[in-house]
Chain A
Amino acid sequence: MRADLEIIQHWIPAGSRVLDLGCGNGELLAWLREHKQVSGYGLEIDPDNIAHCIERGVNVIQQDLDQGLGNFASDSFDVVVMTQALQAVHYPDRILDEMLRVGKTCIITFPNFGHWRCRWYLASKGRMPVSDFLPYTWYNTPNIHFCTFKDFEALCHQRQLRVLDRLAVDRQHRHSTASRLWPNLLGEIGIYRISRV
């Protein structure tokens, strides 16, 4: 299983109802159904990914996250998951509100723009960072709302959300004492579990 999903699955209780926003090929939901009797739905817009989900029997719904989650009732899921999509939606703050309306807890992962490599790239070259991990140039990137861990936590604070768990990992999803101490500098990906207060 994808390394970030392996970390996330520990935070999802057995038998819970899960909504996975941008569920990709359905890997997480398929695994959770097999091993943790988890039920729920995945939202996805890529037709190939949707076909993969259908093949593996994952409940996949074609839905654009930028249209919101108005079709889901409040508190209808135990956990709402969104991996590596926060930076690609039009209104990250609104989707966050929606996730916490629909779900009791939320798990969100996103790339940290405060990582030292990004800072160094911008400081030394004076240009927007491009790397293997974030390979797009500024004009063709789907990632339109980059943030740092500090930015994200400021938003959580402003929205009065509670951060239940936080993990700063590198691109192989390893974490260390150093990344725990200086997450905003050394963490490449943030994995957060949040809830309403």
Chain B
Amino acid sequence: MPAVFPADSVGLVSPQRLAFQQPLALACGRQLDSYELVIETYGQLNSQASNAVLICHALSGHHHAAGYHSVDERKPGWWDSCIGPGKPIDTNKFFVVSLNNLGGCNGSTGPSSLNPATGKPYGADFPVITVEDWVNSQARLADHLGIHQWAAVVGGSLGGMQALQWSISYPERLRHCVCIASAPKLSAQNIAFNEVARQAILSDPDYHEGRFQELGTIPKRGLMLARMVGHITYLSDDAMGEKFGRERKSATHNYDLHSVEFQVESYLRYQGEEFSGRFDANTYLLMTKALDYFDPAAAHEGDLARTLSVAQADFCVLSFTTDWRFSPARSQEIVNALMAAKKNVCYLDIDAPQGHDAFLLPIPRYLQAFSAYMQRIEV
């Protein structure tokens, strides 16, 4: 618990809940008649509304990106390393908007919300949401906040996909697009990892075809397994080696088939356990589907340069050397397409041992480049 918040923290923050009554048409053909989004904002919107930055979250993210909800909160928001006074997304300069995406499980309308038509939780009946749908809902959010054009749309991983989609769907509504540790589409290997995670959930007897909430259960084992698999792919071999090596909980082998012996097992179980207690299984399925479906170039026979030719924003693309879930080569595909489309783009592949998770960490080279880019943005 921080007795006093650090000087470079946005400090105490509280979420707001916004209701949208206009129906939102979705890529799947269905629509949401009304929905709610939970957001947080940091900093002040200037009089021309020209200093707004949208933060798009990744698979398990949410609106609480920076600061603390209370003095008792153990850890700050998920991207506190990059958002705050003097940090790359400097709240002295920018008005930062962070939301929980539709289909999420942290307050915005999603599978665990009550379906107004039935009075029961949506569960697996909640429509599948795509990255395009998220961007459309975020555009409505911008309208609601009186923001015609974002100074920047910023995101890592699945969030980077949303930032990229913004530059395609609403080219005139953002001046800068910051796409970190992301990809223009998932590879077969990536979809395969998602499928393992989904099968873990779907095959859990407590999943009950997505109606577990009505029945008062949670597919805890499935969620835990999904998170364990995911977590392995977010770390590099070196990062895991550094953190756990072959360290054991006891000096000797137990010679049984069931006990937790290596520290890495214990860590993964803890991560899975913690995650399964706070995350909704249907949201996890939905988020992985949104990842799998994302492929903006598909509309142009796979030609990403042609897809991005409509973009008007300047781009900053960042990747991390040891990230194998969203490898530097995937970021370079985006960069090459942007250069072929003659767009302004900066690209840096940051030498970091932490794997995909690096985008959340305060790595000096990363913060330096990220800050340099954000500082040059005129507001």
Contacts and interface: CB of A to CB of B under 8 A. Distances in A.
A: contact size bracket:
20 to 34
A61 B335 contact: yes
Contact of B332 (A55, A71, A72): A71
B368 interface: yes
B375 A55 contact: yes
B33 to A, nearest CB: 44
Interface stretch (A46-54, A84-92, A154-162, A175-183): A46-54
Contact of A59 (B346, B349, B375): B346
Contacts of A58: 346
Given A47-B369, A51-B369, A59 B348 contact: no
Nearest to A41: B339
B372 A51 contact: yes
Residue among A17, A50, A62 having the largest count of chain B Cβ atoms under 10 Å: A62
Contacts of A39: 342
A62 B347 contact: yes
A15 interface: no
Given A54-B372, A71-B332, A71-B336, A47 B365 contact: yes
Nearest to B351: A47
A197 interface: no
B279 to A, nearest CB: 35
A3 interface: no
A62 B349 contact: yes
Contacts of B71: none
Contacts, number: 51
Contact of A54 (B339, B349, B376): B376
Nearest to B344: A59
Contacts of B342: 17, 39
A13 interface: no
A55 B372 contact: yes
B274 to A, nearest CB: 35
Contacts of B368: 47, 51
Residue among B340, B349, B376 having the largest count of chain A Cβ atoms under 10 Å: B349
Interface in B201-236: none
Given A47-B351, A71-B332, A71-B336, A54 B365 contact: no
B243 to A, nearest CB: 25
A17 B340 CA distance: 12
Nearest to B316: A54
Report, nearest first, the 5 A-B pairs whose CB atoms are least far apart.
Answer: A54-B372, A55-B372, A71-B336, A61-B347, A62-B349
30 contacts: A17-B342, A41-B339, A47-B348, A47-B365, A50-B348, A50-B369, A51-B368, A51-B369, A51-B372, A53-B346, A54-B316, A54-B348, A54-B369, A54-B373, A55-B376, A57-B376, A58-B346, A59-B344, A59-B346, A60-B346, A60-B347, A60-B348, A61-B339, A61-B346, A61-B347, A62-B348, A71-B332, A71-B336, A71-B339, A76-B340
Interface of B: 316, 332, 335-336, 339-340, 342, 344-351, 365, 368-369, 372-373, 375-376
